[in-house]
Amino acid sequence: MAPGTRLGPYEIVMPIGAGGMGEVYRATDPRMGRDVAIKISAERFSDRFSREVHAVAALNHPNICTLYDVGPNYLIMELIEGPTLRDRIKQGAIPLEEALAIAAKIADALEAAHEKGIVHRDLKPGNIKIKPDGTVKVLDFGLAKTTDAQVAASPEVSPTISMAAATQAGIILGTAAYMSPEQARGKAVDKRADIWAFGVVLYEMLTAKRLFQGEDLTEILASVVKDKPDLSVVPAQVRRLLEKCLQKDPRERLRDIGDVALLLEHAPETAPSQGALRARLGIAGRSVAALFVVGLGPVAFLHFREKPPAPALPLRFQIQAPENAALGPYLSLAPDGRKLAFLVRGRLWVHFLESGDSRDLTAADGSPFWSPDSLFIGYPSQGKLKKIAATGGTPQTVADFSDSWEAGAWSQDSVIVFGTFPHGFFRVPDSGGIPVAITAIDPARQEAFHYCPSFLPDGRHFIYTSQSTDGRKDSIYIGSVDLKPEQQSFKPLVASHWGPVYAPSADPSTGYLLFMREGTLMAQAFDNPRLELKGQAVPVAEQVGDNNGGAGGYGAFSASANDVLVFWPSGASDRQLTWYDREGKVLGTIGDSGDYQDLALSPDGTRAVVRKKSGAASNLWMLDMSQGATARFTFDSAAVSDPVWSPDGNRIVFSSNRDGPYNLYQKPVSGVKDEEILLKSSEAKYATSWSRDGSLLLYTVVSPKTKHDIWVLPLEGDKKPVPFQITEFEEVAAHFSPDGHWVTYTSNESGHSEVYVRSFSMNSAGTAVEPGGKWQISNGGTDPAWRGDGRELYYRSPDGSLMAVEIGTNPTFRAGKPQPLGTLLRSLGRSLPWDFTSDGRRFLAPAGRRGSEPYTVVLNWQAGLKK
């Protein structure tokens, strides 16, 4: 937000801080003539959050950062100059009298808060400021809530693990080194957690050392839970006080912060006089205020050690999306567990778990993967396999490829394996070179894709998924970088539609195969020497997302080499079909919320056919726009997809793999009879467009030799399929223009997906005439469709935005400059279905929380397995 910008009555002066969910600015309040700090959240506050903030803002205390005002998505608070107590401690141990004077003010603020039922939960030196005049101010950059609230977790201010907005019991909140044992165990807390933290802070003031230390977060929390504090280094006068503050069992701990003075009054004779103690620890104030700051901050991992963590203590927290962005399924955790690479709107980002920073690195077209030393990220971009340092810099090209990206993996032997459709996997040195094929798609085995490789510990073998044209045969296999395609073994490890991940364990002979089974992330022990599974698969996490709406593909999960796991919740059930106008304004909703994957409006706009998934099957449902009623249209035990309406609205063509490959079927909308086969062959095929005169159907064929091609099916005469666009590139999503003279489609012939238009005609013999003119419409785009009058094209840009292009055809074809549609239509995502009325005035798409879910990080996840 630029200086001079106004937010309500407040004028921005300059930025003073930032976090993943909000930014902090210095601002002026012209009404009161004072400077303030203003925290702006990326999202509007919930009603519950606002009520809690208002309750806290009503409090007032000289040792508390005051909250002045609350807006719909911002907080106005006291601007406090000066260093933090953490800065002061860095200069060395604080003398006893000075430390006790500071402690008195902290205790004063805490007692006032506790009397109002408010627990700080995140007291630490970084949350305490000392103004130039010596005034002590307690701040809260985590979250202060009333004591009856439950606790949940997401990363906050370094090195805090604290809550964003949701509430959930049993998850860690607070800063590791200052957490009470009950916090470390994820239990509910009360004011005694603050008393524990007070003791830890006082110890640190007196010694300039952390009381609980460790090489990583797990060790620190283990020390908090198990280790008895060594208080021999603190002055004798405060040992009894610290002993009572630092009891592991909260029932044996000092119950009220107001009792601090009493303990010091009965300290040894070397202590200051009772009058001095009362002056230093006079608990005078009886009120407190807590500063709410909503933001994505860092998690202090300090150092992840390579030896097994102890004791076993699974911990969870969350990573929010960068501002004004939505997370997605393409994510990869570095082997050291300290960095997370992910894609947002066609850009490669990296999140540093230690500092909490998220950094935009470069443009990318597909899923990223890490070097074994966690220093570089591999990724695809415009037909090239590239690598870039995790800290940023100039990307380096490793190899060229011309096909659809199917993920990659990087071995300890400096070999990269990556997949492309339809050629299987290639290997290439990470220094660059010519890719060498190591697997191949086998049509005889009904294979369609090889994707998502993950290296095993020997660096020579890798696991991957083979997707079949018959989805019932999708399985995970083991491949080798040392073999030729014809030498690879095809013994399946386990059936799965999603890509796998190998995760090491503390035992070098055993690891875990992580894979998905109908939305549940599973783990099964893997015998490294024998290269085989053992034992039974056990669930790790429920409702894990993917890139294909539950139909298989990239599973939204990743694991490190040191027992860290990250996954993205699916959140699909929250989607609601929503009407928008061209400006992105919501016009209303229709039907029930659900997992909508395909969507097609009838020509007259009165009905819609949608696809919903149920287990391994998916079926079509008919939605009546006037009544909002939904009725099942197909009753398949396999997968049904890609519905296309006939121009008269009486029939629907769709694909189903009930007999192996996806074949074309048609069924009357009235339901008076069952569907009948329209086109059957050994190759998968999907209808995309029906000509307005009803005589022709455009469809996509998946060919092992020429990838995705465009064909025409005549619906009259001999009904013999006719090729329209068959090249070495990917041609998909073809649509007839309303007058039937043009076809728009998507191709990757330029190295990445673009929208094109070609002329179209059929001769008297029913053969497609060689296409004439050809025009590129987009600068990156997919899923094109014509407006009902043919004068406008719509398509989806790489970041998920909907674009509109004016089209003219008289006397020659011409296309205008692409223009984005309304703001809300720019956040539909890269995979959500959408459609529009024939006049182009209303757009229908599922809307909801898909993409707003944060990533979930689990430390020491293997300790939670039920073995």
Dihedral angle at the C-alpha atoms of 291, 295, 296, 299, nearest 10 degrees?
Answer: 0
**Amino acid letter at 798?**
P
Q: 197: Cβ–Cβ under 8 A, 6 or more apart, which residues? A: 120, 122, 123, 124, 174, 178, 179, 180
CA distance 337 to 560: 5
In contact, 553 and 847? CB cutoff 8 Å: no
CA distance 210 to 179: 12
In contact, 744 and 755? CB cutoff 8 Å: yes
CA distance 585 to 583: 6
Sheet strands side by side (includes 696-703): 685-690, 696-703, 707-714, 722-725
Residue 174: both structure tokens together? 């607070």
**Amino acid letter at 340?**
L
Q: Of 370, 377, 407, which is closest to residue 392 (Cα–Cα)?
A: 377
Q: Distance between alpha carbon 788 and the CA centroid of its chain, in Å?
A: 37
3-state secondary structure of 274: helix
Q: 774: Cβ–Cβ under 8 A, 6 or more apart, which residues? A: 756, 757, 758, 759
CA distance 583 to 576: 19
Distances in Å between the alpha carbon of 866 and those of 157, 558, 646? 33, 20, 52
In contact, 710 and 665? CB cutoff 8 Å: no
Residue 277: both structure tokens together? 């103690």
Residue 12: both structure tokens together? 């921005």
In contact, 170 and 187? CB cutoff 8 Å: yes
Q: 269: Cβ–Cβ under 8 A, 6 or more apart, which residues? A: none
CA distance 862 to 683: 42
Q: 734: Cβ–Cβ under 8 A, 6 or more apart, which residues? A: 688, 689, 698, 700, 710, 724, 725, 743, 744, 745
Distances in Å between the alpha carbon of 394 and those of 331, 390, 517? 21, 11, 39
My answer on whether omega of the bond before 311 falls inside 30° of 0, hence cis, is: yes
Distances in Å between the alpha carbon of 537 and those of 454, 465, 552? 18, 17, 19
Q: Is 598 a catalytic residue?
A: no
Among 29, 47, 87, 122, the one annotated catalytic: 122
499 phi and psi angles, rounded to 5 deg:
-65, 145
Q: Of 627, 579, 574, which is closest to residue 599 (Cα–Cα)?
A: 579
- Go through 494-509 and write b for each residue having 16 or more CB atoms within 10 A of its CB, e for each that does not: bebbbbbbbbbbeeee
Residues paired with 362 in a beta bridge: 348
Q: Of 635, 699, 689, which is closest to residue 667 (Cα–Cα)?
A: 635
In contact, 470 and 657? CB cutoff 8 Å: yes
**Angle of CA points 82, 84, 85, to nearest 5°:** 130
CA distance 500 to 859: 19
835 phi and psi angles, rounded to 5 deg:
-155, 180
**Catalytic residue positions, numbered:** 122
